[in-house]
């Protein structure tokens, strides 16, 4: 009788995967170093926390948690459709936008296909591609962002899907409306374009592409959004996709029926109407971004101009050491060597005093090392 071997039993695409590495939790650092008053600027979370309206809605929802949630998310879908001028049958709900990205790939890609994405783009793209057994094509970045011409040139007869993040994570780079539209128009319609807009709320209305409206013109376009960033619901895991109704139909065939729980459904619905909270989130982000940029300029540190709620700063070959020193100072940021940026740290925008804690720690560390 042969012996049990989990590696041999696992699907080929899974065997060489490394688990997704999230930003270090505050509780973990507390356990490791025994320090308090930790500032976390590692996961691009909204520093304002939950809005008061969402908190109240969650309290009211608690009494119904013994019941299963609405598997179809009728009220949230209706709210999304109303807010963005869509039809309900164009919407697919997800357990965060990560769930959407994986769902799209698993629905349409197999091990005979190729998936195109940019160097320095969100790690979930290559992870899900490898898990499925498809071939990932990482196109070299241009100025830390998407080289759209090179991505078009990378299309082959095996290409099935292209991932575009706008703004991009972890670099914060941004593609204009004109660039995106021209690109999508040139992609053959048998190839799906997944436009990941997790940070779009931080982009001004004048600059943000009307991507959801483009779905009517481009049936091969899928737009992914999340409530984890500007809406402040990272812990509740809520996201959605907008697509042609026929695409959404197939996504919903594979989607888990209760992939959003009752609390996340209700919280997302309320958050969509909380315009004051969203405006405050954007304002806090603009102020914090200016605060970090001023520090970088004064210190002579280079950074990648960002349209998100984070700033990626070049700190040199000692980035890993600097990250550890910041941890011991009670500040958590994000090392991004895994994104082929070993000399950079990504710093989420926090509240004024949180940003200042990072700045003060950096001044102390850099001063001691010079």
Round the average pLDDT of the chain to a whole number and report it: 93
Please report the pLDDT score of residue 19 as a whole number. 67
Neighbours of 48 (CB within 10 A): 15
Q: What is the pLDDT of residue 237?
A: 94
pLDDT of residue 30: 76
Q: What is the DSSP code (8-state) at residue 314?
A: E
Q: Does residue 7 form part of some domain?
A: no
260-312: pLDDT as tens digits: 999 999 999 999 999 999 999 999 999 999 999 999 999 999 999 999 999 99
Q: Are residues 105 and 248 in the same domain?
A: yes
- Checking if the pLDDT of 13 tops 80, the result is no
Q: What is the pLDDT of residue 17?
A: 64
- Percent of the chain with pLDDT strictly greater than 90: 84
pTM of the model: 0.92
Contact 232, 203 (CB under 8 A): no
- Domain end among 256, 272, 288: 272
Is the domain of 256 the same as that of 165? yes
143-202: pLDDT as tens digits: 999 999 999 999 999 999 999 999 999 999 999 999 999 999 999 999 999 999 999 999
Q: What number of other Cβ atoms are within 10 A of residue 265's Cβ?
A: 23
Residue 83: φ, ψ to 5° = -70, -35
Rounded-to-integer distance, Cα 307 and Cα 302, Å: 16
Same-domain check for residues 94 and 211: yes
User: 345 and 221, same structural domain?
Assistant: no
| Contacts for 259-262: CB closer than 8 Å, 24+ residues apart | 259/93, 259/94, 259/95, 259/99, 260/69, 260/73, 260/76, 260/93, 260/94, 260/95, 261/69, 261/236, 262/61, 262/64, 262/65, 262/67, 262/69, 262/70
The domain that contains 119 carries what CATH number? 3.40.640.10
d(CA 166, CA 164): 6
Q: Where does the pLDDT of residue 31 fall: very low under 50, low under 70, confident under 90, or very high at 90 and above?
A: confident
The pLDDT-based confidence of 362 (bands split at 50, 70, 90) is very high
Q: Count Cβ atoms within 10 A of the Cβ of residue 280 and give its class: 0-12 exposed, 13-18 middle, 19 or more buried.
A: middle
Pick the closest to residue 286 from 206, 234, 355 (CA basis). Answer: 355
Per the model's pLDDT, the better-predicted residue between 256 and 304 turns out to be: 304
191 and 240 inside one domain? yes
More confident residue, 24 or 301: 301
Question: Of 235, 257, 272, which residue constitutes the final position of a domain?
Answer: 272
Instruction: Say yes or no to pLDDT of 369 above 60.
Output: no
Give the model's pLDDT for residue 311: 98
Answer for the pair 223, 241: CB distance below 8 angstroms, yes or no: yes
* Statement: residue 243 has pLDDT above 90: yes
Domain annotation covers residue 206: yes
- Is position 9 within any domain? no
Tell me the two tokens of residue 52.
């008061």
Domain end among 249, 272, 295: 272
Total domains in the fold of the chain:
2
Question: Is residue 277 helix, strand or coil?
Answer: helix
Q: What average pLDDT does this structure show over 48-75?
A: 94
Do 70 and 211 belong together in one domain? yes
Tell me which residue of 227, 210, 231 sits closest to 276, measured CA to CA.
231
**Among 12-16, 216-220, 228-232, where is mean pLDDT lowest?**
12-16
Question: 296-300: long-range contacts at Cβ-Cβ below 8 A with a sequence spacing of 24 or more?
Answer: 299/362, 299/363, 299/366
Helix H, strand E, coil C: the string for 143-164 is CCECCHHHHHHCCCCCEEEEEE
Domain holding 363, by residue range, is 21-49+276-369
Q: State whether 301 and 187 are in the same domain.
A: no
H or E element, residue 125: helix 124-132
């Amino acid at each position: 009788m042969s012996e049990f071997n989990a590696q041999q039993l696992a699907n080929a695409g899974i065997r060489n995967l490394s688990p997704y590495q999230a930003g270090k939790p505050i509780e973990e650092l507390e356990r490791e170093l025994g320090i308090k008053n930790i500032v976390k600027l590692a996961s691009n979370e909204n520093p304002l926390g939950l809005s008061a309206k969402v908190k109240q809605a969650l309290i009211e929802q608690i009494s119904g948690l013994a019941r299963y949630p609405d598997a179809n998310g009728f009220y949230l879908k209706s709210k999304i459709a109303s807010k963005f001028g869509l039809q309900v049958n164009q919407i697919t709900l997800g357990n965060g936008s990560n769930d959407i990205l994986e769902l799209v790939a698993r629905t349409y890609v197999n091990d005979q296909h190729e998936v195109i994405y940019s160097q320095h783009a969100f790690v979930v793209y290559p992870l899900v591609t490898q898990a499925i057994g498809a071939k990932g094509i990482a196109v070299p970045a241009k100025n830390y962002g998407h080289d759209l011409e090179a991505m078009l040139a990378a299309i082959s007869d095996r290409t099935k899907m292209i991932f575009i993040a706008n703004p991009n994570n972890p670099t914060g780079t941004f593609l204009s409306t004109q660039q995106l539209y021209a690109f999508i128009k040139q992609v053959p319609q048998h190839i799906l374009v997944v436009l990941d807009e997790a940070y779009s709320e931080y982009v001004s209305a004048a600059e943000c592409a009307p991507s959801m409206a483009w779905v009517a013109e481009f049936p091969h376009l899928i737009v992914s959004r999340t409530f984890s960033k500007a809406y402040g619901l990272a812990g509740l895991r809520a996201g959605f996709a907008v697509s042609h109704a026929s695409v959404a139909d197939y996504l919903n065939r594979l989607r888990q029926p209760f992939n959003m729980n009752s609390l996340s459904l209700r919280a997302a619905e309320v958050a969509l109407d909380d315009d004051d909270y969203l405006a405050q989130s954007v304002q806090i982000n603009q102020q914090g971004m200016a605060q970090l940029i001023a520090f970088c300029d004064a210190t002579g540190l280079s950074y990648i101009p960002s349209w998100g709620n984070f700033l990626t700063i070049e700190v040199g070959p000692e980035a890993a050491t600097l990250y550890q020193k910041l941890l011991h100072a009670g500040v958590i940021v994000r090392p991004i060597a895994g994104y082929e940026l070993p000399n950079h740290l990504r710093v989420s925008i926090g509240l004024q005093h949180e940003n200042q804690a990072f700045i003060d720690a950096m001044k102390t560390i850099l001063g001691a090392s010079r």
